[in-house]
Amino acid sequence: MRAAVYYGPEDVRVESVPDPELASPTDAIVRVTHTAVCGSDPWFYRGESDREEGSRVGHEPMGIVEEVGDDVRSVDPGDRVFAPFTISCGYCEFCRKGLHTSCVNGDSWGGENGGGQGEYVRCPHADGTLVRVPDRHADDEDTLEALMPLTDVMGTGHHAAVSAGVEAGSTCAVVGDGAVGLCGVLAARRLGAERIVAIGHHEDRLDIAERFGATDLVTARGDEAIERVNEMTHGGVNHVLECVGAASAMETATGVCRPGGTVGYVGVPHGMEGGLDVFDFFGDNISLRGGVAPVRAYAEELMADVLQGTLDPSPVFTKTVDLEGVPEGYRAMHEREAVKVLVKP
Amino acid sequence: MRAAVYYGPEDVRVESVPDPELASPTDAIVRVTHTAVCGSDPWFYRGESDREEGSRVGHEPMGIVEEVGDDVRSVDPGDRVFAPFTISCGYCEFCRKGLHTSCVNGDSWGGENGGGQGEYVRCPHADGTLVRVPDRHADDEDTLEALMPLTDVMGTGHHAAVSAGVEAGSTCAVVGDGAVGLCGVLAARRLGAERIVAIGHHEDRLDIAERFGATDLVTARGDEAIERVNEMTHGGVNHVLECVGAASAMETATGVCRPGGTVGYVGVPHGMEGGLDVFDFFGDNISLRGGVAPVRAYAEELMADVLQGTLDPSPVFTKTVDLEGVPEGYRAMHEREAVKVLVKP
């Protein structure tokens, strides 16, 4: 089969690799029909985070089940499914608690499982990991594109909102106008937030934020952004969604958080070698919640909204490529031409 | 009047200073009958934190109201009162929210207000700051000594427990066997924790922890402590009280926290110039809550328990001195001879 492989900074190639095979009775093989380039992919693409040369990339697969192991009970060949960016068993203590990212039997995409950016993946723990799309929606292209962000960014934005304690009537701020930040806006609106301040610095992305429900847009960085948000909210907000993962974004997040408020953070931390300044949190009792998003936990409730037509995060996909176009997709993400790239192998 | 003054590392002197006077109609003058040396005082005493030479020290006053300004309504001369380590108005947004440490009209002990370690203090915002002890208990020495920790360490230990989400049936761990850690044990038991693992390295202090309700004692540091707690709890606890404030204690706290759990931290951060490693929290969605404890918020509920005889944190006072003995009190705290020193001017 064909699949995208990482060879070094700014060097992702699509090449022929062995087809994946069932290795355990709980595995499934999925033919990938939709996948994406993630906002975290540019970090290794730029050489900012380590990644082994020759490793398979992608972690947001959606497709059709081709083959299942003998012990798989929840999906059959021919089913339309999608999977989150982590593999989880579904039955351990942490999966039952909704913390699938800490699954004690967990696994990840890449290696022999294949990455999402390829023709096929092997999905370990298929019963725990795969989310089945009901048959009546299984071939509707618009629906599938609206479901695709549930593999990662929509679940992650939702986790930021949940972690920040957003609820009906809340005033909140969202730091970051990437796909996760935009989905954070959508999630906050879905949870009933009354006022949503989106902080970013790309006007085209803030337009999407507004479409997604942001009530106030702040196009600024650092101290200027903090000052403007604190002025418009008379001293900061109680709920902040930190959707970037960079040290500067965390500083903005704590800077706009009202004393006693909560920062929900979900961006993979990067550029934080200096560590978090705990004094940013200590004096005003600001809580720090969140972490890597257990998007599997949120898949069913978010899918229900997509299927009834009340949730559509697909506008985050501003560019679409086929499998051979994956390197071009990385380039477009790296150069911030695209918010998020949809891949249709 | 006589009062303790800081002159530099290992140099605290008791000397004659001007009596405090009412400066605002909301002030009260309190004659100090009881105060304490705090576990945070040795930091400036050792020169580990900055403090201006010539500054007045102490921040845990209890005493008799001598004089009140025209606008003071909740206390009268002759009343027995105590005050937390921060001064708060009682009516701003944050005081109403129970976050008195973020009071927008807040003030602190020291300077012209006087520190707690002196014959008198001036208390600004007397209505918001002072807690009145009911007359029938106002002269009972045992009760007063049991109430004294409510000025700081008992409220702080309680804040750690509340921030960590301890509730009836919880399994929790307490990092630190200083006065705050011991009060954290007491607070966790009071909130109904079922299993309380106390982690420290002074056997005499862990004896107090056991008396206060710890079900398991771990006398170890760093990785050894983490390993033992994780073994005895089959993978960590959901609620950790970090009662030290040092970087190593925070590492122990995250190390014994179960995925998805919460670290409630209350120790003034020190030795954390390197910052917090956010990866200790991110991967397993560990929440960080707490901060400087709004002990004023907890005074009434904790006092009710002390007055009915179901709460007695006074065993944290392992040494008592008079005002002239304050320098000796600092020495005893510095050399860890005393858990906490009670001062009776």
Q: Residue A63: beta bridge partners?
A: A32, A81
Half-sphere exposure of A67 (CA within 13 A, CB side): 12
Which CA distances in Å does A15 have to A22, A47, A56, A113, A211?
Answer: 21, 21, 10, 16, 39
* Residue numbers in B near A282 (CB within 8 A): 265, 268-269, 291-292
CA–chain centroid gap for A159, Å, is: 10
Compute the average pLDDT of residues A1-6: 96
Give dist(CA A269, CA B77) in Å, integer: 56
Ramachandran area for residue B220 (φ above 0: left; ψ -120 to 50: alpha; else beta):
beta
Give dist(CA B171, CA B189) in Å, integer: 10
* Residue numbers in B near A268 (CB within 8 A): 282
Compute the average pLDDT of residues A238-259: 95
Using CB atoms within 10 Å of the CB of residue B305, give its burial: 0 to 12 exposed, 13 to 18 middle, 19+ buried: middle
The answer to which of A256-270, A271-285, B256-270 has the lowest mean pLDDT is A271-285
**Tokens standing for A227?**
């000052």
Residue B295 has pLDDT above 80, yes or no: yes
Q: Which residue of A has its CA nearest to B282?
A: A291
Decide if A101 and B283 are in contact by the 8 Å CB cutoff: yes
Do residues A65 and A79 make contact, with C-beta atoms less than 8 angstroms apart?
Answer: yes
CA–chain centroid gap for B51, Å, is: 19
pLDDT of res. B181 = 98
Residue B279 has pLDDT above 90, yes or no: no
- State chain A's mean pLDDT as an integer: 96
**Tokens standing for A180?**
């996760």
Residue B317 has pLDDT above 80, yes or no: yes
How close A275 gets to chain B, by Cα (Å)? 4
Q: Which residue of B has its CA nearest to A99?
A: B260
B interface mutation test: which of A278, A286, A296 has the most B CBs within 10 A?
Answer: A278
pLDDT of res. B87 = 97
3-state secondary structure of B336: coil
CA–chain centroid gap for B87, Å, is: 14
Do residues B214 and B198 make contact, with C-beta atoms less than 8 angstroms apart?
Answer: yes
Half-sphere exposure of A152 (CA within 13 A, CB side): 27
Do residues A92 and A67 make contact, with C-beta atoms less than 8 angstroms apart?
Answer: no
Decide if A275 and B274 are in contact by the 8 Å CB cutoff: yes
Residue A272 has pLDDT above 80, yes or no: no
Decide if A276 and B274 are in contact by the 8 Å CB cutoff: no
Give dist(CA A202, CA A39) in Å, integer: 15
Give the DSSP H or E segment for B29. Answer: strand B28-37
> Residue A14's pLDDT band (boundaries 50, 70, 90)?
very high
pLDDT of res. A99 = 98
* Residue numbers in A near B40 (CB within 8 A): none
- What are the pLDDT digits (tens) for A194-240? 999 999 999 999 999 999 999 999 999 999 999 999 999 999 999 99
* Residue numbers in A near B283 (CB within 8 A): 101-102, 291-292
Q: Which residue of B has its CA nearest to A86?
A: B283
> Residue B111's pLDDT band (boundaries 50, 70, 90)?
confident
| 3-state SS, one letter per residue, for chain A | CEEEEEEECCEEEEEECCCCCCCCCCCEEEEEEEEEECCCHHHHHCCCCCCCCCEECCCCCEEEEEEECCCCCCCCCCCEEECCCEECCCCCHHHHCCCHHHCCCCEECCHHHCCCCECEEEECCHHHHCEECCHHHCCCHHHHHHHHHHHCHHHHHHHHHHHCCCCCCCEEEEECCCHHHHHHHHHHHHCCCCEEEEEECCHHHHHHHHHCCCCEEEECCHHHHHHHHHHHCCCCEEEEEECCCEHHHHHHHHHCEEEEEEEEECCCCECCCCCECCHHHHCCCCEEEECCCCHHHHHHHHHHHHHCCCCCCHHHEEEEEEHHHHHHHHHHHHCCCCCEEEEEC
Q: Which fold has domain B156-290?
A: Rossmann fold (3.40.50)
DSSP for B116-148, written as a single string = SSBSEEEESSHHHH-EEPPGGGTT-HHHHHHHG
* Residue numbers in B near A278 (CB within 8 A): 250, 269, 272, 275-276
* Residue numbers in A near B276 (CB within 8 A): 275-278
Give percent above pLDDT 70 in chain A.
100
pLDDT of res. A200 = 96
**Tokens standing for A35?**
């996948």
Decide if B291 and A282 are in contact by the 8 Å CB cutoff: yes
Decide if A284 and B291 are in contact by the 8 Å CB cutoff: yes
Q: What are phi and psi of B156, to 5 degrees?
A: -75, -45
pLDDT of res. B40 = 85
Give the DSSP H or E segment for B4. Answer: strand B2-8
- Start and end residues for every CATH 3.90.180.10 domain found in chain A: 2-139+313-344
> Residue B6's pLDDT band (boundaries 50, 70, 90)?
very high
pLDDT of res. B267 = 86
B interface mutation test: which of A92, A101, A280, A288 has the most B CBs within 10 A?
Answer: A288
Using CB atoms within 10 Å of the CB of residue B25, give its burial: 0 to 12 exposed, 13 to 18 middle, 19+ buried: exposed
pLDDT of res. B311 = 98
Length of chain A equals: 345
How close B99 gets to chain A, by Cα (Å)? 7
| Check whether domain B2-139+313-344 has CATH 3.90.180.10, yes or no | yes
Among the partner residues B265, B275, B288, nearest to A275 by beta-carbon distance: B275
How close B307 gets to chain A, by Cα (Å)? 29
Decide if A284 and B102 are in contact by the 8 Å CB cutoff: yes
* Residue numbers in A near B272 (CB within 8 A): 275, 278
pLDDT of res. A111 = 85
Among the partner residues A274, A279, A290, nearest to B285 by beta-carbon distance: A290
3-state secondary structure of B16: strand
Residue A278 has pLDDT above 90, yes or no: no
Q: Which residue has the higher pLDDT, B265 or A40?
A: B265
* Residue numbers in B near A284 (CB within 8 A): 99, 101-102, 291
Q: Which residue of A has its CA nearest to B271?
A: A278
- Start and end residues for every CATH 3.40.50.720 domain found in chain B: 156-290
Per-residue DSSP letter, B40: T
- What are the pLDDT digits (tens) for B144-200? 999 999 999 999 999 999 999 999 999 999 999 999 999 999 999 999 999 999 999
Compute the average pLDDT of residues B57-77: 97
CA–chain centroid gap for A230, Å, is: 28
pLDDT of res. B49 = 83
What are the residues whose beta carbons fall under 8 Å from the beta carbon of A251, sequence distance 6 or more?
A: A222, A280
> Residue A326's pLDDT band (boundaries 50, 70, 90)?
very high
How close B96 gets to chain A, by Cα (Å)? 12
Among the partner residues A94, A276, A286, nearest to B278 by beta-carbon distance: A276
Among the partner residues A250, A276, A281, nearest to B291 by beta-carbon distance: A281
B interface mutation test: which of A281, A282, A286, A287 has the most B CBs within 10 A?
Answer: A282
Residue A33 has pLDDT above 90, yes or no: yes
pLDDT of res. B280 = 86
pLDDT of res. A276 = 82
Residue B277 has pLDDT above 90, yes or no: no
Decide if B291 and A283 are in contact by the 8 Å CB cutoff: yes
- What are the pLDDT digits (tens) for A153-170? 999 999 999 999 999 999
Compute the average pLDDT of residues A312-329: 97
* Residue numbers in A near B280 (CB within 8 A): none
Decide if B259 and A99 are in contact by the 8 Å CB cutoff: yes
Decide if B282 and A294 are in contact by the 8 Å CB cutoff: no
Residue A273 has pLDDT above 80, yes or no: no
pLDDT of res. B39 = 85
Give dist(CA B163, CA A16) in Å, integer: 53
> Residue B284's pLDDT band (boundaries 50, 70, 90)?
very high
Length of chain B equals: 345
- What are the pLDDT digits (tens) for B222-256? 999 999 999 999 999 999 999 998 889 999 999 99
Q: Which residue has the higher pLDDT, B103 or B278?
A: B103
Note every long-range contact of B70-79, with CB atoms under 8 Å and residues 24 or more positions apart, other chains counting: B70/B25, B71/B25, B71/B26, B71/B127, B72/B25, B72/B26, B72/B27, B72/B28, B72/B126, B72/B127, B73/B127, B74/B126, B74/B127, B74/B130, B74/B132, B75/B28, B75/B126, B75/B127, B75/B130, B75/B132, B79/B132, B79/B133, B79/B138
The dihedral over CA atoms of B267, B268, B271, B275, expressed in degrees to the nearest 10, equals: 90
Decide if B99 and A294 are in contact by the 8 Å CB cutoff: no
pLDDT of res. B122 = 98
Decide if B285 and A259 are in contact by the 8 Å CB cutoff: no
- Start and end residues for every CATH 3.40.50.720 domain found in chain A: 154-290
For A154-290, CATH gives 3.40.50.720
